[in-house]
Structure 1
């Protein structure tokens, strides 16, 4: 499986290479804001504008994603990077080398200050794409001059890291989601103190304020140890013996 680095801060699974040979298998389920905010090399003001454009549907281009090219009103590098899968998984690069040469998947392109994001219609996997020419260079989706073709690395190319399969991507996403899932009480255990919820970082075990344990009040009395009961019984026996001896002595004096 490709190298996985789970961030403890944002709980995001980062994979170096993933397969996108089966579009739609792992659609992105997070929000636009969450996805764009992960592109930390893009200036924050640019990210804010990109989020607004995507959420309002103000696309700069509609492009056809093919096996070897991305064609639209502009020319684009054929490589798609930083693609989002599932709830919180990001793949540095994706391969589509098993696509048929005639296959096309449409996507909306949003650009701000030379930073472009592409959102395929089939899956909504927010990704990054690089524009390489000005308007009109691509000749449009349906015809005209063909966009410049840039060789896409194949699985057999030197230095190519094996792409994670869709199942591996799904597993990585599940691991990242588990890292942020709050602990829940075991269903078979009925606590006399009610249900307590715990911090999602799995390090704090302090009950939250919605439980009886967190409310101020007198501390419960400690449960006596067995030795305590033994000492109490011995003390009572001594007192009882003293009382009996005193009673006998007083009876003897009265006689």
Structure 2
């Protein structure tokens, strides 16, 4: 029923009459323009939210070990696990706290940790010596002596640019892993340190190399900004016929079949503990740079859907 009123001159009738039945498609539409506009707005908000949730979002958070950190932040890492090889090499006092006056002993080892984030260059410059850093990193005495002398004399072999996605040597083009740096800060050596600059930020440094008694070549980086003596491991190793022959020949030292310029620069064995001990999915091998959920997007979706439902219920009450 609908209420009608006669608008003709001298006619004062008004009353209820059967309303004409609208077409089926019109029955689903709100009867009032204001309600229709509100409901339409809610539906558009819900649609926009759905699009936003499916839009790829580059999150500026990364995994460092089991920690979630924002780009450009500093993380001082964790204690070494019980089974870590460095625990067998270092005094117990260096595994849990940094002792007083430690910097005064040149031949001593550094305090050891792992899973650090290097996000604020210059925040905590290294206070020890190159010898202390390389000894703690388990480099051979031959390598320690050679690189320490080169650092003292400024005889670098190359320059590097340090980025979040890799540490790149200028002349050789080698790319070192930016997630597995054995880096010093203060009086600490932190293994599995991750470069964690703000997006687009870079630093430069000097690169030094030396060969040990077995013919392996190791790379040590000293950044310009804070002098953090760091041992690097090459990220990509190009496959060559010589490398393939060496890998299948059963030679205990297959790298000797390669000329020095083609030998990969790897971390010492005792610094590559997580390569085979850590479970996948902790941010080391299983997606440390992956996108993380955006809590703000989920909240927006909930608010939009709540607004749409509320508008629909109000419209129904008014029609009833």
Report the TM-score, using the length of structure 2 for normalisation.
0.39
Structure with a larger share of its residues in helix? 2
